[in-house]
């Protein structure tokens, strides 16, 4: 009755709020990317929507309602075994072989070298990194079955040294930071042979790690790609469990992850592992959010201005990028740490700061997913035509044609960022209710996290509202 009405009105209000801002966004980015309202007002509105959604969420104080919003899951049929153990691994292996063949082939003039015609570049960046990653958080994590390096490692004899527990997620944090920096600093999206070389290097390290420490342990803990994709999969409505495929409310997987009760979707033998059990796991989530932000930030005119100013007295370009990268990551970690410490204070609780940091990290994954969608949906759609033609005629594709994006696409990007944040606000609310016995305590503990989310919305909306320029000195 009133409870249902209240919850419906909260949802309607959230959707209306998101719709209003994205309508503004679409209008203001409609004509050749020029703003019809001042940027600061557009950013303030975005931050205001996230703040308002937090205030609205505080009206949902019925424990049964909040719990039901994430406790409800339906078990569907199991994934056919042949699909999981034969078809998917074969598709993954075939994809990897094609990427390596066309990547190295470009160096010997047997494959097209033009980035918009080269199969390796199109499959990796358009098909895999943009398109496939979207399916991870919109549908579910299929990477454990598809991952070609896992397939290769499983055919090799294992040394089974036992993964050192103290390492936790730290190898994955280092690996993710290294991969993203390589992606920014090297021309991996232009030079097909270099891309194939980088994939080979990653593959050798990955397969070696899996052979030494065991396939399941390596991919569940240390491999940055598998870990990132597992995290994205937790945002998704579908998850593979021991009982079959489960359909759940978007974000429910994140609440489960926070409680440490989540079962990893699809990792055979690596189930029931709490993915955010240590500080490294939290640092990995922060790194995931930071990496996408950095990737977008270095393509803004503001960064060009800063980098050129620092470059003028003779500082090498790569050093500027590396220092900004390290400082940026430390700043993100520091801000998140501050939020966790604040939560302990405003929530008036004895729960340890590390535990608060761990519990409230999963909502960041919804933000990371929203930001990825905002960043890559337009890229994926406009380059899907070259990808399709390259797949149809890999050795001699016709001259590339791009889809021209309709003007409402700017609005889609802004909506994706806001929806990610609104989901994060709701998930954080539900997590607060799980951690704290008193409901207002749960609300007050979120103040700093919401402040950080508002700041981050503003930052990401600013990045997507900027014209994209080629990062200098690379």
Partner 1 sequence: MTTPQTDVDATDAPASDTATAVPTSVPADATVHECPYCDRPFTREDRVALHVGLQHYDVCTSEEEEAFETAYLAENAEIRRYRLKAAVALIVLYFGLLMVYAVAA
- Closest contact distance (angstroms) between CB of 276 and partner 1 is 13
Smallest gap from Cβ 50 to partner 1, in A, equals 11
Q: How far is the CB of 201 from partner 1 (least distance, A)?
A: 38
Q: Helices 279-297 and 317-346 meet at what angle, rounded to 10?
A: 130
- Closest approach of partner 1 to the CB of residue 300, in Å: 23
Nearer to partner 1, 118 or 349 (CB): 349
Angle 153-155-158 from CA coordinates, rounded to 5°: 65
Distance CA 457, CA 304 (A): 22
Cβ nearer to partner 1, comparing 104 with 360: 360
How far separated are the first and last CA of the chain, in Å rounded? Answer: 60
Closest by Cα among 251, 263, 236, 443 to 362: 251
Residue 55 or 78 with smaller CB distance to partner 1: 55
Sign of CA dihedral 113, 127, 145, 277: positive
Minimum distance, C-beta of residue 435 to partner 1, in the bound complex (Å): 7
Nearer to partner 1, 94 or 352 (CB): 352
The radius of gyration computed from the CA coordinates of the chain, to the nearest angstrom, equals: 22
Complex with partner 1: residue 41 or 76, whichever CB lies closer: 41
User: How far apart, in whole angstroms, are the C-alpha atoms of residue 7 and residue 47?
Assistant: 23
Gap between the Cα atoms of 426 and 429, Å rounded? 5
| Residue 178 vs 440, nearer CB to partner 1 | 440
Closest C-alpha among 467, 365, 370 to residue 415: 370
Q: Is 448 helix (H, G, I), strand (E, B) or coil?
A: helix
Q: For partner 1, give the closer residue by CB, 261 or 395.
A: 261
* Shortest CB 185 distance to partner 1, Å: 38
The CB-of-53 to partner 1 minimum distance in angstroms stands at: 10
Q: Give min distance, CB of 222 to partner 1, in A.
A: 24
Q: Is 245 helix (H, G, I), strand (E, B) or coil?
A: strand
In the complex with partner 1, the residue whose CB is nearer, 147 or 457, is 457
Closest approach, Cβ 7 to partner 1, in A, equals 15
**Binding residues for partner 1, per CB under 8 A?**
36-38, 41, 44-45, 48, 51-52, 55-56, 58-59, 61, 63, 259-261, 341, 348-355, 435-441, 443
Minimum distance of partner 1 from residue 280's CB (angstroms): 16
Q: Output b/e per residue, 44-64; b: 16+ Cβ within 10 A.
A: ebbbbbbbebbebbbebeeee
CB atoms within 10 A of CB 128: 14
Name which of 69 and 293 has its Cβ closer to partner 1.
Answer: 69
Token pair listed for 234 = 């937790």
Q: What single string gives the DSSP state of each residue in 211-248?
A: HHH-HHHIIIII-HHHHHHHHHHHHSSEEEETTEEEEE
Alpha helices in 108-146 (DSSP H): 119-121, 133-138, 143-146
Nearest-approach distance from CB 250 to partner 1, in angstroms: 22
Nearer to partner 1, 108 or 350 (CB): 350
Q: Is 93 helix (H, G, I), strand (E, B) or coil?
A: helix
Residue 10 or 121: the one with the smaller Cβ distance to partner 1 is 10
Angle made by CA atoms 412, 124, 134, in degrees to the nearest 5: 35
Class of residue 350 by CB neighbours under 10 A (exposed 0-12, middle 13-18, buried 19+)? exposed
Spatial CA neighbour of 15 closest among 3, 23, 25, 27: 23
Q: In terms of Cα–Cα distance, which of 34, 324, 22 is closest to 184?
A: 324
């Amino acid at each position: 009755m009133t409870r249902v009405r209240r919850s419906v009105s909260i949802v309607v209000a959230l959707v209306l709020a998101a719709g209003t801002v994205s309508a503004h966004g679409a209008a203001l980015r409609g004509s050749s990317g020029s703003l019809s309202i001042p940027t600061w007002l557009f950013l303030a509105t975005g931050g205001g929507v996230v703040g308002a959604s937090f205030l609205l969420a505080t009206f949902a104080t019925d424990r049964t309602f909040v719990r039901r919003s994430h406790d409800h899951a339906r078990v569907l049929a199991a994934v056919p075994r042949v699909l999981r153990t034969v078809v998917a691994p074969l598709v993954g292996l075939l994809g990897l072989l094609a990427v390596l063949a066309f990547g190295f082939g470009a160096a010997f003039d047997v494959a097209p070298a033009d980035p918009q015609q080269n199969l390796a570049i199109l499959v990796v960046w358009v098909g895999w990194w943009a398109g496939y990653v979207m399916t991870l958080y919109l549908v579910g994590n299929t990477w454990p079955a598809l991952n070609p390096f896992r397939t290769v490692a499983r055919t090799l004899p294992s040394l089974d040294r036992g993964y050192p527990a103290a390492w936790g997620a730290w190898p994955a944090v280092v690996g993710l930071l290294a991969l993203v920096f390589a992606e920014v600093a090297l021309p991996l999206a232009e030079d097909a042979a270099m891309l194939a070389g980088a994939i080979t290097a990653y593959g050798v390290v990955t397969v070696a790690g899996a052979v030494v420490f065991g396939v399941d342990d390596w991919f569940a803990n240390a491999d940055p790609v598998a870990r990132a994709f597992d995290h994205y999969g937790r945002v998704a409505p579908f998850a593979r469990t021991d009982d079959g495929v489960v359909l759940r409310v978007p974000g429910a997987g994140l609440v489960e992850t926070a409680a440490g009760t989540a079962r990893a979707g699809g990792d055979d033998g690596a189930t029931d592992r709490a993915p955010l059990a240590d500080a490294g796991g939290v640092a990995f989530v922060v790194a995931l959010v930071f990496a996408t932000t950095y990737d977008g930030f270095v393509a803004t005119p503001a960064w060009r201005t800063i980098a050129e100013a620092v470059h003028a007295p003779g500082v090498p370009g790569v050093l500027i990028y590396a220092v900004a990268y390290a400082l940026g990551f430390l700043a993100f970690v520091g801000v998140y740490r501050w939020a966790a410490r604040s939560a302990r204070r405003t929530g008036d609780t004895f729960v340890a700061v590390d535990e608060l940091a761990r519990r409230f990290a999963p909502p960041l994954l919804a933000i990371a997913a929203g930001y990825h969608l905002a960043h890559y949906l337009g890229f994926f759609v406009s380059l899907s035509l070259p990808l399709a033609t390259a797949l149809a005629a890999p050795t001699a594709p016709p001259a590339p044609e791009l889809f021209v994006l309709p003007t409402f696409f700017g609005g889609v990007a802004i909506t994706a960022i806001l929806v990610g944040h609104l989901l994060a606000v709701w998930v954080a609310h539900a997590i607060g209710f799980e951690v704290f016995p008193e409901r207002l305590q749960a609300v007050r503990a979120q103040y700093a996290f919401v402040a950080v989310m508002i700041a981050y919305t503003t930052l990401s909306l600013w990045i997507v509202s900027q014209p994209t320029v080629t990062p200098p000195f690379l």
